[in-house]
């Protein structure tokens, strides 16, 4: 049986993308001017591969269905999925500049964010917490509440 999508939002980390593109330009300029082109080309290749991996974390999609909430970076394999029955509460929170972007453990629990500081904290019945970044926390909270009711 297919799940009915109640809410879906993709957030793009433009700051992250811009910084990576700037880095590619700087590396390209340095490579063009380097007297040791082979060594510079190897370093640039390694840095470009690392940048590509970081780009895999440049968008965050959040989806609420009638049975679950899921969020992922670029590809669904880079994310989490939780059954609505496992959720004890959801609430709006603000992350700080110090908590940064990406995936990491903070006092909000595991934070998943690509841009901005608005997030929805999901607390599971087990006590585990996640903070999922979103530019519209209230819409996401309402979607989870509608899904749980309906």
Q: Which domains does the chain show, CATH number per domain?
A: 1-150 (2.30.29.30)
- Read off the pLDDT of residues 9-38 as tens digits, 9 standing for 90 and up: 999 887 777 777 777 777 777 766 767 767
Does position 8 have pLDDT exceeding 70, yes or no?
Answer: yes
* Sheet containing strand 129-133, strands side by side: 87-94, 118-124, 129-133, 109-113, 102-106
- Predicted model pTM: 0.78
Nearest to 82, CA basis, from 110, 104, 55, 118: 110
Strands 102-106 and 87-94: unpaired
Q: Output 6 or 38, whichever has higher pLDDT.
A: 6
Does position 104 have pLDDT exceeding 80, yes or no?
Answer: yes
Kindly report the backbone phi and psi dihedral angles of residue 28, in degrees, each rounded to the nearest multiple of 5, phi listed first. -65, -45
Q: What is the pLDDT of residue 105?
A: 85
Does position 1 have pLDDT exceeding 70, yes or no?
Answer: no
């Amino acid at each position: 049986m297919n799940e009915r999508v109640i809410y879906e939002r993709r957030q793009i980390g433009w700051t992250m993308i811009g910084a990576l593109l700037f880095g590619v330009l700087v590396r390209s300029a340095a490579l063009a001017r380097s007297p040791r082109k082979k060594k510079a080309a190897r370093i640039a290749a390694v840095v470009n591969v690392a940048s590509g991996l970081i780009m895999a974390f440049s968008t965050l999609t959040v989806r609420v269905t009638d049975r679950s909430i899921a969020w992922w970076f670029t590809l669904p394999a880079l994310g989490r999925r939780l059954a609505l029955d496992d959720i004890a509460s959801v609430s709006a929170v603000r992350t700080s500049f110090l908590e940064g972007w990406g995936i990491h453990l903070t006092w909000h629990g595991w934070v998943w964010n690509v841009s901005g500081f608005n997030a929805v904290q999901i607390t599971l019945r087990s006590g585990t917490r996640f903070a999922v970044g979103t530019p519209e926390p209230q819409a996401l909270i309402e979607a989870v509440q509608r899904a749980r009711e309906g």
